[in-house]
Amino acid sequence: MARIGVIGTGYVGLVSAVGMATLGHEVVGMDKDEKKVEKLKRGELPFYEKGLGDYLREAMERGLLRFTLDTEEAVDGARYIFIAVNTPMDDDGSADLSQLLSASRSIAKALKDFAILIVRSTAPVGSLEAMAKVLEVEGKERGRDYEIAYNPEFLREGTGIYDFLNPSRIVVGADSPEIAEEVMSLYERINAPKLTTTIKNAQIIKYASNAFLAARVSFINEIATLCEALGADVWDVAKGMGLDPRIGRQYLRPGPGYSGPCLPKDLMALIRMSEEHGYFPSFLEAIHLKNESQKRRIVWKVKEALGGVFTGKTVAVLGLTFKPNTDDVRNSVSIPIINRMAKQGALVKAYDPMGGENAKEIFKESAQIFPDPYSALEGADAVLILTAWDEFRGLDWDRVRKTVKNPFIVDAVGLFRDKGLEGWNVWVVGKG
């Protein structure tokens, strides 16, 4: 079994660290965030992720997993160093590589023996060469002191550890087939399709996969708007399309637009990558444009329910996370939608089953966050549902009906697509 260091223990890094320890490897996870590391040392998760806590504590009890703030400790004796820092969207839409490059610098300083640096962050073509430059400045030579491999992560937040242990595929890109195979051997105990390829191909596999998922969402949202105009029901249309095995049902769910920490930034980074190489990717641009207009459409639907003005009106928003079963509000569709309504004069009251605390940071000015749904809904002129949490279906809507000013629901996620709500006027996305 191998000794692995993991740099960055956010969603991807922590799942990788816990997953690798569960497979029997000896793992040291390192993060620069003191609070995160303190929690992890106590066996506590720094964020909500279903089932991950049990795996974390089991791996720690077996002595296969520990955490540190010190890069040297994580790297010492490790032949494999996973890098899972973030590559957020820069102002111009390209991937911001600053965390990746700064982590590379710390690793270079700490590196004593040969190691394979395995990048798990989503990183554009050219970024690993930039990393190599940083290592070179610190006196480390590619091939002699280290090798680089690219091993994209395809997990979905909310089912992260399940996805790690039961992946749809494992992809490893490296300069040589030997290095790629060696990295792949870390996953020996996982039964899944395995693909070794070049670094560039592996990078594009990751970006193209996310762009394709975004395309499916924008596509069905396009059809949803058409169904609204034609008096049809996109939910039945999506079902009928998805039954074709060539199409499939995943990511064919209409809604307020794709969002979250991956799809928007990865699509934009792919667009910028294309442009930097002299190609204007109009198809990729169209995916993004439809997503933007879908958000505006939802805002417009709420405005319509309010009689055409936001000023002086109260909108109750249910759901702030970018999808159910996570507490992650980063880059959620709720952010631009709420900000737009607030800027136009609406008073926004909001509730989320798990993302409330994270949301307080984000919506300091634009929304009041409530710890329970009933207080958020009280006095509303319109209700907007933005995340498909099951909990919302089971609310006592008769009770809510008595406390709102206007019984109008804009259901942007289709919770009430099959059965309306008695006494309520419900608009469901994609239903004419």
Ligand X SMILES: NC(=O)c1ccc[n+]([C@@H]2O[C@H](COP(=O)([O-])OP(=O)(O)OC[C@H]3O[C@@H](n4cnc5c(N)ncnc54)[C@H](O)[C@@H]3O)[C@@H](O)[C@H]2O)c1
The residues of the shown chain that bind ligand X, judged by CB under 6 A, are 7-13, 30-33, 36, 84-87, 99, 102-103, 106, 121-122, 153, 155, 157, 261-262
Q: Are 149 and 123 in contact (CB under 8 A)?
A: no
Q: Which is nearer to ligand X, 157 or 228 (CB)?
A: 157
SS3 at position 202: helix
Q: What tokens does 377 get? A: 């809904």
Residue 272, number of CB atoms within 10 A of its CB: 18
SS3 at position 67: strand
Query: Minimum Å distance from CB 132 to ligand X?
Result: 17
Q: Exposure of 430 by Cβ count < 10 A (0-12 exposed, 13-18 middle, 19+ buried)?
A: buried
Is the C-alpha dihedral spanning 341, 343, 347, 349 positive or negative? Answer: positive
**β-strand partners of 117:** 81, 148
Q: Which is nearer to ligand X, 75 or 180 (CB)?
A: 75
Query: Minimum Å distance from CB 201 to ligand X?
Result: 17
Query: Minimum Å distance from CB 128 to ligand X?
Result: 13
**φ and ψ of 293, to 5 deg:** -70, -30
Residue 165, number of CB atoms within 10 A of its CB: 17
Query: Minimum Å distance from CB 13 to ligand X?
Result: 6
DSSP of 246-270: TT-STT---SS---SSSHHHHHHHH
Nearest-5° angle of CA 122, CA 125, CA 128? 75
Query: Minimum Å distance from CB 167 to ligand X?
Result: 11
Residue 281, number of CB atoms within 10 A of its CB: 17
Q: Which is nearer to ligand X, 92 or 365 (CB)?
A: 92
Q: Which is nearer to ligand X, 121 or 334 (CB)?
A: 121
Is-catalytic flag, 262? Answer: yes
Q: Which of 262, 298, 335, 337 is catalytic?
A: 262
Q: Which is nearer to ligand X, 40 or 305 (CB)?
A: 40
Catalytic residues: 262
